[in-house]
Amino acid sequence: MSRSIGDTVAHSVGCSCEPDITHTILHPHDKIVLLASDGIWEFLSNQNVANIVVPFFEKDAPEAAANALVSAALSQWKRQSQSIDDITVVVIFLNVDLT
């Protein structure tokens, strides 16, 4: 689990400030890049997220897609938990031909 630099309490239980980094090769059929914290994924499945984001892709409205995801996640947190984790998301629509 990664956490902010200087969080000595979390470090004592195994958290690290070193991020997990992966590399992915994009292909021409890839249309959306979504970076999200666990606050999004706790109660929203991949399919839920796709159902929310795709209509905004068709309108070329990534900011609206991000706002809709945050609202959906927040609603689920309030419905299913007494606390709310951080809810962070970046939505990028790829509108370029990668070939």
Tell me if 79 is assigned to some domain.
Answer: yes
Confidence of residue 4 (pLDDT cuts 50, 70, 90): low
d(CA 3, CA 9): 11
Overall average pLDDT of the 36-46 stretch = 92
Q: What confidence tens digit (pLDDT) does each residue in 52-69 have? A: 999 999 999 999 999 999
3-class DSSP state of 92 = strand
**Residue 66 located in a structural domain:** yes
Residue 8 lies in a domain: no
User: Taking the chain, what is the end-to-end CA distance rounded to the nearest angstrom?
Assistant: 36
User: 52 is in which domain, residue-wise?
Assistant: 22-93
Of 31 and 83, the one with more pLDDT: 31
Q: What percent of the chain has pLDDT over 90?
A: 58
> How many domains does the chain contain in total?
1
> Global pTM?
0.77
Residue 57, domain member (yes or no): yes
Q: What was the pLDDT predicted at 2? A: 52
Q: Is there a domain that residue 30 lies in?
A: yes
Strand 32-36 versus strand 89-93 pairing type? antiparallel
